[in-house]
Structure formats: C-alpha cells, structure tokens
Structure 1
Amino acid sequence: MFEFCADPSLLSDPAWLACYLTTGKHAGFYIAFGTVLLLLAITAPAALLFGFGGAMAARSRFVPLRWFGKGYIAVVRGVPDIAFFLFFVIALDQGFEYLRHKLKCPGWGQPVRQGNDFVVCPEAKLPLNDAPQWQHEVYGFSLAVLTFAIVFGAFAANVLYGAMRAVPRAQIETAEAYGMSRRQTFWRILVPQMWVYALPGLSNLWMVLIKATPLLFLLGVEDIVYWARELGGTKTPRFTDYPHGDWRMWYFGALLVFYLVFTRLSEIVIARVMKRLTLGQATAAGEAQRKAAT
C-alpha cells in the first residue's frame, strides 16, 4: 500500500482506487490467479498420467485389469463433476485420517463415527490442529489437485483409448512382421502415432479443465471466485476504510476477461502443436497441409 493511503477519506478518486486495489485482501485476489494457474500446471500432466494408465488398463489382456480400466472410465465419467468433487474430497480426507488413526492410536476406545461426526484422535488429524496455516492450505490444495486429476483422468483415458484404436492396424501388423514384440510395438509405433488422433479430444478436455477451476471455491480453496465474491460484495464504512456498493459485476467481469484471454491463448498454442504433429501424417489435417503447400 502506498504511503498516501493512511487516510482514505482525504483521497481523490484515482488515488482512492489505487489504494483500494493494493490492500492486503486484493493481494490475496491477485495471488489466487497464480493458484489457478498452478492447479492447471499440476493437474494437466497428472490427469494425463491417470488417463494413460486408465487407457492401458482398458486395453489390457488381463481381464480384471481391463474391467478396472473400463469401470474407472465409465463410473467417473458418469457422475456429475460437482457431485464427485463434493463427495470424493470428504471421503478422501476421512480415509487418510482413518488410516492414520488406526496406526497412531490403536488403543483409542471411542468409535470413529459418532452420529454425524467423524472423530479421530488428535495425532491422526490432517493437518494437525496446531499446524501453521500454510500447511492447511497446501493440504486442501493437494486434495483438490488429486480430485481434479482423477476426474479429468477418466475423460483423458477415454480419449486416449479411442486414439489408440484409431491408429491404423496396418502399422501394427507391419511392426509385428519386422519381429517387434508387443511391448516394442506399443511404445515405438502405437504411442507416438496416437497423439495426433488424441489431441483434438485432449484440447477440448483442456478447455473444460480451465472452465472447471472455479470448483476450487466449492472445495474450500480461496480461489479467484472466492475473492471476487468477497471483495465485490457491498462494503460499509463500519467494516472497511474503502466502502463501496455491490461491485461483484466488475470483479466477475474481470474473471470473464481472464478466462477468455487464457482460453484464446490456449487455442493458439494447441493449433500450433496440432500443425506440428500432423505434418506428414496420413490424416485429414496432414492432407490439408500437403494441399496447402502445393
């Protein structure tokens, strides 16, 4: 905050706005944009990893593993995201605490379920009650990342599974004719070629993931939606030095611009990646590039 912000009542409108936008709460609002970008940076590769594992499991010759892979894809894709987020985070948190409770407090004589309450010994809490605030925030963020990765991993698994099946069978047969093993064929022929078929679906999934980041607000993480609602609500002189009316329209308008710009940048990057992947490929996009070059 600037030095001239000591008495906001004496400031002109531009100075008042400058002081208002540099308060501590606004710093939290600005940091929340970094939280969203960090979530995307971690969740995207994690979801892709879950998706690749799910697709491989769905293609497995081992029947129980194949059932598990297809069940993971079907169940997670079939449950509304908001219901899964609200249920899974609570279940995951209680599951971790229950395991710690059994390990750290074997002599605990009280039931864990006490009516509507879930009670474990103090040593089993995650994080501990006396832990610093940053540990609570990191733990909540980690649960959110894991939940996002599992949910969007199921959609990625379905995309990758279809992309693997789209690779021409002749490519696989040629590799087998050259004496390649099943593993060599998978990693050297199938996986490198499947990305060109998977990228359109993965790009759509990336856009959906961007739009789903406001769900952090439902998971207790102080994201940009939380701060927009908190800062944009009506403020009176009784509670703040910077009173104002209902400014939520302006704050959520700023979020609208942020998401539109971010998705547009994503489209540009994805288009360039797609152009590079389809160069020389026997696909519709590759054929269009060859015709354009001639």
Structure 2
Amino acid sequence: MFEFCADPSTLETGPWFACYLTNGVHLLFYQSFLTVLLLLAITAPVALAFGFAGAAASRSHIAPLRWFGQVYTSMVRGVPDIVFFLFFVIALDQALEWINHQIRCPDWDEPIRQGANFTVCQAAKIPLSSSPQWVHEVYNFGVAVFTFAIVFGAFAANVLFGAMRAVPRAQLETAEAYGMTRRQSFWRVLVPQMWIYALPGLSNLWMILIKATPLLFLLGVEDIVYWARELGGSRTSQFAYPHPDWRLWYFLFLLVFYLAFTRVSEIVLARINTRLSRGQATMAGEAQRRAGA
C-alpha cells in the first residue's frame, strides 16, 4: 500500500507493521467485518419475517397452516445449529441443481446419484464453474443469509407466538365487539401491542445471532474468524511478512470487537424497550408513569 513496502525485510518495526497491516490479505480481513455486519443487517429482518409468518401460522384457525407453523418452529429449534447448517446447505444446493438439471439437461441418461456422488450436467451447476469469483461469493453469502434466517426465524416464531398470547384477550374481544373483523383486530390491536412482550426474547436472539456469525465458514463464506486463524498462524521466511504464532492477538482483537458490538446492541435495545413501554400496561410502562407523575 505504501511505497516503502517494496522490500519488507529492510523495514524497521513501525514501518514493517504499517505495511503488514495494510497488505492485500489484511484488506480482505477488514472486508470480512463488513461481510459480518451485512449478514446481520439482512438476516435480522428476514428472520423476523419468517418468525412472524411462523407465529401467525401457529395460531391460525386453518389446521394444515397451524400444523405447518408448529412443525417448522419445533423441528428447526430441536436441531443443533451446526448440524442444520451442514445438512441444509447440502440439501439446498442439491435440490437447486437437481431442478436446474431437469430443465437444462432433459436428455441426460446417466443416474444423478452415483454412489456417494451427486452428479449433474455442467450447465446445471449453481453457480457455473466458469462464473466469476464474485458470483460464487454472492451465492455463498445468499445461502448463508437464507440458512441463518430459517434457523433464527424458528426461534423468533416461538418468541412472537408467546408475545401474541401475552396480549390480554379482553382487548381483542373489545375490538371485535366494536365491529372489527378478526383480521382487523389482529393487525390493529394484537400486532402493535405484542412487540413490548416480544422484545426481551428478540433481544436475546439478536445476541445469539451475533455469536453465531463465526459459523459462516461452514457455509463457504470467509468470515473474520477464518481470516484471524489464517493470518495469525506462523509464517516462515518464505512469506513476505514472516512472524511467529500470533493467533492469540488476532482472537483477542475479535473478542474486543464482539464485546463492543454486543454492548452497543444492549444500549440500542434498551432505548427501544423504553420507547415501546410508553403507555403500556407493563412494569416498565408503570414505572414511566410513576416517574412522570
């Protein structure tokens, strides 16, 4: 990055670290932080949408829809995250390639399942082997977002279902007595009030989602933990910047990053909780009314 970085072996300590921390590989390390933040920014609302749909389905009066919501919530929550990530990604990849294979290669006469191998025609590969690297990275990131959303959406569905049940039934009955339909009372009475009951559980889910981001490497995404392990390992003289095992310092940096990020999240969530508690018949709402009296 700097002109004096042409020959790192001739540099003193300060310039050496300046060159070391700004080389191309470290720029990928810094970029991986943005990847993690982007994953959280996209996954959180998508998972919340899945959770809301699952919770609404679980309380539906239509039996098949209610069964689907209950099975989704219970099944996904009952499988360890790492097992689900490993299974779901493989299953999703093969399902997409199988569908693409049926469309693009209808004349294929060889079995797709050949022992332990899953073989489709080259035109059905997703993404194509000839595709640019950025296409593979975007595909892996999209699969990661979808997988995280499916998993944490199930937990969010359980939280939102409990929050919906926590809203006093008398309020819904009053809304219906005033002539509101079941749908109107759901959107105008139940949904606006359930968030104050759901926020504590959703806050915990957000913290768990942050801690789960190191699982990105299982989904083919080079995340911050991957690069910390790669960069921190011992480097011999054959590398431009040889150094001993520095993984302790890299992972210590990640520790500080995650602690700072969770602390900021706690502050933001506390402010959201204060705002949602205004006027609500909860302990926090009652405390605000007494403080303002």
Q: Shared fold by TM > 0.5?
A: yes
Equivalence for 1:115: 115
Q: What is the one-letter code of the residue matched to 2:58?
A: A
Q: What is the one-letter code of the residue matched to 1:200?
A: P
Q: How far apart, in 1, do the equivalents of 2:232 and 2:112 lie? A: 41
Tell me by how many angstroms 1:293 deviates. Answer: 2.6
Q: How far apart, in 1, do the equivalents of 2:199 and 2:71 lie? A: 23
Give 3-state SS (helix, strand or coil) of 2:272's partner. helix
The gaps in structure 1 that reach 5 residues or longer are: none
Cα RMSD of the aligned pairs, angstroms, is 0.6
Equivalence for 1:248: 247
* Percentage identity across paired residues of the two chains: 72
Spell out the pairing of 1:1-294 with structure 2 (5 A cutoff).
1-238=1-238, 240-294=239-293
Please list the CA deviations of residues 132-166 of structure 1 after superposition, one character each: whole Å capped at 9, or x if unmatched. Answer: 00000100110010000000000000000000000
Tell me by how many angstroms 1:129 deviates. Answer: 1.0
Give 3-state SS (helix, strand or coil) of 1:289's partner. helix
Tell me by how many angstroms 1:292 deviates. Answer: 2.5
Q: What is the one-letter code of the residue matched to 1:103?
A: I
Tell me by how many angstroms 1:176 deviates. Answer: 0.8
Please list the CA deviations of residues 218-264 of structure 1 after superposition, one character each: whole Å capped at 9, or x if unmatched. Answer: 212100011001100000012x1110000000111111111000000
Please list the CA deviations of residues 119-138 of structure 1 after superposition, one character each: whole Å capped at 9, or x if unmatched. Answer: 00011000111000000010
Q: How far apart, in 2, do the equivalents of 1:225 and 1:217 lie? A: 8
Q: How far apart, in 1, do the equivalents of 2:137 and 2:67 lie? A: 36
Tell me by how many angstroms 1:9 deviates. Answer: 1.2
Q: How far apart, in 1, do the equivalents of 2:47 and 2:240 lie? A: 44
Q: How far apart, in 1, do the equivalents of 2:244 and 2:113 lie? A: 45
Q: How far apart, in 2, do the equivalents of 1:10 and 1:107 lie? A: 63
The gaps in structure 2 that reach 5 residues or longer are: none
Q: What is the one-letter code of the residue matched to 2:257?
A: F
Q: How far apart, in 1, do the equivalents of 2:32 and 2:149 lie? A: 20
Q: How far apart, in 1, do the equivalents of 2:22 and 2:200 lie? A: 41
Q: TM-score, normalised by structure 1?
A: 0.99
Please list the CA deviations of residues 183-214 of structure 1 after superposition, one character each: whole Å capped at 9, or x if unmatched. Answer: 10000000000001000100000000000000
Tell me by how many angstroms 1:291 deviates. Answer: 2.2
Deviation beyond 2 Å, 4+ runs, structure 1: 291-294
Q: What is the one-letter code of the residue matched to 1:287?
A: E
Q: How far apart, in 2, do the equivalents of 1:124 and 1:79 lie? A: 30
Q: TM-score, normalised by structure 2?
A: 0.99
Q: How far apart, in 1, do the equivalents of 2:115 and 2:196 lie? A: 53
Q: How far apart, in 1, do the equivalents of 2:130 and 2:217 lie? A: 24
Q: What is the one-letter code of the residue matched to 2:277?
A: T
Q: How far apart, in 1, do the equivalents of 2:276 and 2:224 lie? A: 35
Tell me by how many angstroms 1:117 deviates. Answer: 0.9
Q: What is the one-letter code of the residue matched to 2:289?
A: R
Q: How far apart, in 1, do the equivalents of 2:247 and 2:269 lie? A: 33
